[in-house]
Structure 1
Amino acid sequence: MQQVIIDQYKAVIHTASENKSPLQIRGGGTKHFYGNSSFGQGDIVLDTTTYHGIIDYEPTELVITACAGTRLTDLESLLEQHGQMLAFEPSHFGANATLGGCMATGLSGPRRAAAGAARDYVLGMRLLDGKGRDLQFGGRVMKNVAGYDVSRLMVGAMGTLGMLLEVSLKVLPKPMVEITLQMSMAEAAAIEKMNQWAGKPLPISATCYVEGMLFLRLSGAESAVRAAQAKLGGEELVGGMDFWQSVREQWHDFFQSDKFLWRLSIKSTTVPILLPGKQLLEWNGSLRWLLCDASVDQEIIRKIAKDAGGHATLFRSHEFRNAVFHPLDPVMMKIHRLLKKQFDPLKIFNPGRLYPEF
């Protein structure tokens, strides 16, 4: 049955290639707001959700392989039964979020600074390219991963390089104990503290600063967590798990706004950024969410992010968008174009979704 579905995908891709018709790759649609708004009304949709299910899972090997259309909730539920998790703590933004959408957007959650990004856990991928070729990269076990790391190129590519079919991921055991501490603190002091603590052997798995309060999540063995709690101080937050889920899924009150939401990825040690609007900090200060009016000059926001060693992405807005991601320098743009030419020479996959040029 799975091969029949893949053959159907191939037929659609071949027809689109012959007609040079755009294809919109879409799973659960929970992250459709993200990226450039460049799809036409007549675009053909390639629905990844028809290709779903767990292909291989060996808990003792800490590796799982699943179809791209598999719902994240189903995958995480299976891992939960074996006391394991996706360590990069992906955002869902809805019950229908899929593994393919998770990989295509490359978004990582609160645990990112401590555990690594989504791409760090990818072992292998299977995909269809713009010619309908069935390609496989990497492997299904850690010891077999060799050669060019093409699989990780697909993470964050927004479906512009190929249609993901299957993904193999490294998973990790869930922490034995997790607690959340909260403490009142000025922003500059919070940034300094987070970076100091990041350089010490403390079981801090997530940080968040918002509205004058610093939140720390401690994860690990109970003895280590309690020792760190005694050392760091602060008050234990009741419902800590709910708090981090509210940040990850953007249910927190901070995100309940129709203003523009910017995502600034910068050096963690950067001092407080003075921009109009409200901010929420994660990842020891290296991720800063900015809520502001549309009137705030995006070039100023991007320049501030670049000067701080990073980049700025317009994550959400209520307007048509065609320049969401930070502009690439000429060298990086050339590399992107060469990759696009190799994987999707006729530019039929999600055209304009990542950059207007392709």
Structure 2
Amino acid sequence: MEQVLQEFRERIAAAHAARTPLRLRGGGSKDWYGQAVTGEVLDTRAYRGIIDYEPSELVVTARCGTPLAELEQVLAEQNQMLAFEPPHFGPGATVGGMVASGLSGPRRQGAGALRDFVLGADLVDGRGELLHFGGKVMKNVAGYDVSRLLAGSLGTLGLLASVSLKVLPRPVREATLVFEIGQQEALDKLNAWGGRALPISGSSWQGGRLALRLSGAGAAVDAAARELGGAHGGEIMEDADRFWLDLREQQADFFIGAHHAGLWRLALPSTAPALPLPGRQLIEWGGGQRWLLGDSTADVDAATIRKTAIEHGGHATLFRGGDKRLGVFSPLQPALASIHRRLKDTFDPAGIFNPARMYNEF
């Protein structure tokens, strides 16, 4: 594997010298995410495999081209998991693509985001130099944490060669309750429940139906299910595993047609009220993540959506489909744009990595 990494470094160094754009790509399962991809493909899948895994330490280190499904299988054999429940969006998903996209699934509500579980990383920068950041234990994280900065950077800062991740045991028991309630009532209940010591690991509201997943010790899950089900009329969902998998992978009925009309992701404070926007809405993460899907492109007005998100203390991303000429991510304020520019100039001075994947100016 060291020879593979050396070949990557030499190719990057040559691209730097010639200022040739490179498109960092694993399985391509998230090619659609972000703005248009350009440049010569540098396929990371040859650099694969788990470098180190000690179940008792709850830490795993894997190379960028490792299939995500392979990593999850190894963890499952030890009754452990990636607690942020990353979406695959296709059978070719890799560990590098998982970190570069920075996406978390339904468990993010209770466990935290992907970046919260990144302990360290090895990065090949725009000059072909191999850099080491962080470590394999939480106490090694100090100062400016570059390894977590790579989460969600979409490969614009360098080639993520390997990453160390904190893992967690799988829950002993899970149960999903379903409530028939309106949007604002669902938000009110989610905020009230979120302030209590309840084992909530996922929530989803759409079309008058709220699903609430409980995970943890058997006694805690059973007690919460009895209390919430009895007091609020919740019923146990059958085949809940399939429901949460379809939600994570955006295979649920709600997401049909997203590549045509444009699927918007709004990140908001959980206390934000129901939003008066056209189209269908799906709410996750206790109200913190809201999906908006218009019935047609005419229903989706980017300026209105972004203005509404800002007014409620959040931001909006054109997650899938739609007109990317509008800009996929919210425009950067001058101070943030300056930070982005300095980071890009530091790690990728020739601008060869995934140019304009996040913003046209980078």
TM-score of Structure 1 vs Structure 2, range by shorter chain:
over 0.9
Aligned with 1:300 (options 292, 304, 322) = 304
Aligned-pair identity in percent equals 53
- RMSD between aligned alpha carbons? 1.1
CA contact (8 A) 1:322 1:352 kept: no
CA contact (8 A) 1:29 1:97 kept: yes
Change (3 A) 1:68 1:345: same
CA contact (8 A) 2:318 2:324 kept: no
Tell me the distance in 2 between the aligned counterparts of 1:187 and 1:319.
28
2:179 is the counterpart of 1:180: no
Map 1:1-358; keep pairs closer than 5 Å.
2-39=1-38, 43-233=39-229, 234-257=234-257, 258-292=260-294, 293-295=296-298, 296-317=300-321, 319-321=323-325, 323-358=327-362
Structure 1 residue 270 displacement after superposition: 1.1
Structure 1 residue 267 displacement after superposition: 1.0
CA contact (8 A) 1:37 1:321 kept: no
Q: Could you tell me which amino acid in structure 2 is paired with residue 314 of structure 1? A: L
Tell me the distance in 1 between the aligned counterparts of 2:308 and 2:332.
16
Tell me the distance in 2 between the aligned counterparts of 1:331 and 1:318.
28
Q: What is the DSSP-based 3-state SS (H/G/I as helix, E as strand, rest coil) of the residue aligned with 2:10?
A: helix
CA contact (8 A) 2:262 2:323 kept: no
Unaligned runs of 5+ in 2: none
CA contact (8 A) 1:37 1:322 kept: no
Q: Deviations over 1:292-345 (max 9, x none)?
A: 132232011001011111100001115554610011110000000000010001
CA contact (8 A) 1:130 1:345 kept: yes
Tell me the distance in 1 between the aligned counterparts of 2:108 and 2:322.
28
CA contact (8 A) 1:5 1:51 kept: yes
Alignment length, in residue pairs?
Answer: 354
TM-score scaled by structure 2? 0.96
CA contact (8 A) 1:322 1:356 kept: no
Tell me the distance in 2 between the aligned counterparts of 1:322 and 1:138.
36
Structure 1 residue 189 displacement after superposition: 0.3
Q: Could you tell me which amino acid in structure 2 is paired with residue 297 of structure 1? A: D
CA contact (8 A) 2:263 2:322 kept: no
CA contact (8 A) 1:322 1:355 kept: no
Structure 1 residue 147 displacement after superposition: 4.1
CA contact (8 A) 1:130 1:162 kept: yes
TM-score scaled by structure 1? 0.97
Q: What is the DSSP-based 3-state SS (H/G/I as helix, E as strand, rest coil) of the residue aligned with 1:33?
A: coil
Q: Could you tell me which amino acid in structure 1 is paired with residue 245 of structure 2? A: Q
